[in-house]
C-alpha cells in the first residue's frame, strides 16, 4: 500500500534552499544552452548575422538571461518561499560599514581592471558582441544589456541562492556553495577564470552579507564586464594593427 506524503513532509524535502539550487541550475542551463535553441538561430538569420559578426543576438540572449535568472526566481521567491521578498537582498545596502564595503572593493576591483594589461584578455571570447567598429552608441547599448543581464544574474545567485543557503546552513557554508557554483559557471572560459571566479565569489558573498544587499556586487560586476569589453576591443584593434604591419613588412 502506497502511503501518501503529507505537505509538511514534502516541504522538508523541497525546502527553500533546495528549491533555489534546483531552480537556479535548471534556469542557468536553459540560458547557457539557449543560443542553440531554434528560435535564437532564427533571430540570428533574421538579423543577418554571421559567425564572425553578431550583436543583436547577444542582446537577445542577455534579455533571455534576465528573464530566466531574474524574473522567474523573483516570482518563485515571491510566491513560494517562506521569507518575504526583501529577505533576499533586494533592498539598498545597509549597515554601519556599508559605505566602506562599497568604496574599498569597488576601487580595488575597478582600478585593477582599468590598469589590467590588454594582453591578459581572451579576445577569442571577449567582447561577446563581435563587431569591428565600436562607436560610443554601441558601447553604451552593450553596457545597458550587460546591466540588464547581470541584474537578473546577481539577484539569482547572490540574492535567492545565497540568502536561502545562509538561512539554512549559516554564513560560510552558504559562501562555499555560492562560490563553487560561481566558479563552475565560469569553467568553460578556462581554468584561470574559474579559479578567479571562486575567490571573487567569496568577496561578493561577504559584501552581500555585510550590507544585506546584492546591489554592490551587481555594480562591481557590471563595471568589470563593461571595462573588460572596452579593453578587449582595444586589444583586438591592436592585434589587427600588428597583423597588418607584419603583412606589410618585406
Q: What is the pLDDT of residues 112-165, one digit of tens each?
A: 998 888 777 877 778 888 888 899 999 999 999 999 999 999 999 999 999 999
As given in the structure block, the three cell numbers for residue 41 are: 538561430
> Tell me, what's the pLDDT at 249?
42
Reported as a single tens digit per residue, the pLDDT across 196-231 is 999 999 999 999 999 999 999 999 999 999 999 999
Per-residue three-class SS string for the chain: CCCCCCHHHHHHHCCHHHHHHHHHHHHHHHHHHHHHCHHHHHHHHHCCCCCCCECHHHHHHHHHHHHHHHHHHHHHHHHHCCCCHHHHCCCCCCCCCHHHHHHHHHHHHHHHHHCCCHHHCCCCCCCCCECCCCCHHHHHHHHHHHHHHHHHHHHHHHHHHHHHHHHHHCHHHHHHHHHHHHHHHCHHHCHHHHHHHHHHHHHHHHHHHHHCCCHHHHHHHHHHHHHHHHHHHHHHHHHHHHHHHHHHCC
pLDDT cut 90: percent of the chain above it: 60
Across the chain, mean pLDDT equals 86
Give dist(CA 2, CA 109) in Å, integer: 57
Predicted local confidence at residue 5, as pLDDT: 38
pLDDT for residue 89: 96
Cα Dmax for the chain: 86
- pLDDT recorded at residue 247: 41
Using one digit for the tens of pLDDT, what is the confidence trace for 56-92?
A: 888 988 999 999 999 999 999 999 999 999 999 999 9
Q: How far apart are CA 82 and CA 87, in angstroms?
A: 10
As given in the structure block, the three cell numbers for residue 173 are 557554508
Asked whether 228 and 172 are in contact (CB, 8 A), the reply is no
pLDDT tens per residue, range 21-64 = 999 999 999 998 876 677 777 777 777 777 667 888 889 889 99
Q: How far apart are the first and last CA of the chain?
A: 86
- Spatial neighbors of 58 by CB under 8 A, at least 6 apart, are 128, 129, 145
Inform me whether the pLDDT recorded for 111 exceeds 90. Answer: yes
* pLDDT, average across residues 173-182: 96
pLDDT at 65: 94
8 Å CB contact between 181 and 161: yes
**Model pLDDT, residue 238:** 58
Average pLDDT, integer, range 172-193: 92
pLDDT score recorded for residue 90: 95
Write down the pTM of the prediction. 0.87
Model confidence at 1, pLDDT cuts 50, 70, 90, reads: very low
What is the pLDDT, as a whole number, of residue 169?
A: 94
**Residue bearing the bigger pLDDT, 247 or 79:** 79
| pLDDT computed for residue 176 by the predictor | 97
Amino acid at each position: 500500500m502506497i502511503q501518501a506524503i503529507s505537505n509538511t513532509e514534502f516541504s522538508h524535502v523541497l525546502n527553500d534552499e533546495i528549491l533555489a539550487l534546483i531552480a537556479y541550475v535548471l534556469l542557468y542551463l536553459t540560458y547557457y544552452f539557449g543560443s542553440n535553441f531554434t528560435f535564437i538561430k532564427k533571430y540570428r538569420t533574421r538579423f543577418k548575422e554571421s559567425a564572425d559578426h553578431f550583436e543583436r543576438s547577444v542582446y537577445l540572449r542577455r534579455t533571455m538571461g534576465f528573464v530566466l535568472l531574474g524574473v522567474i526566481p523573483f516570482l518563485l521567491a515571491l510566491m513560494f518561499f517562506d521569507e518575504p521578498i526583501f529577505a533576499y537582498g533586494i533592498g539598498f545596502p545597509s549597515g554601519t560599514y556599508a559605505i566602506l564595503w562599497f568604496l574599498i572593493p569597488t576601487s580595488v576591483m575597478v582600478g585593477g581592471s582599468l590598469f589590467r594589461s590588454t594582453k591578459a584578455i581572451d579576445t577569442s571570447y571577449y567582447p561577446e558582441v563581435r563587431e569591428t567598429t565600436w562607436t560610443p552608441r554601441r558601447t553604451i547599448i552593450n553596457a545597458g544589456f550587460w546591466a540588464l543581464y547581470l541584474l537578473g544574474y546577481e539577484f539569482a545567485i547572490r540574492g535567492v541562492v545565497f540568502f536561502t543557503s545562509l538561512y539554512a546552513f549559516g554564513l560560510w557554508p552558504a559562501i562555499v556553495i555560492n562560490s563553487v557554483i560561481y566558479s563552475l559557471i565560469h569553467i568553460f572560459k578556462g581554468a584561470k577564470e574559474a579559479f578567479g571566479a571562486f575567490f571573487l565569489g567569496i568577496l561578493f558573498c561577504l559584501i552581500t552579507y555585510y550590507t544585506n544587499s546584492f546591489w554592490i556586487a551587481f555594480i562591481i560586476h557590471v563595471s568589470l564586464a563593461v571595462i573588460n569589453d572596452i579593453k578587449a576591443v582595444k586589444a583586438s584593434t591592436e592585434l589587427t594593427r600588428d597583423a597588418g604591419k607584419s603583412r606589410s613588412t618585406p
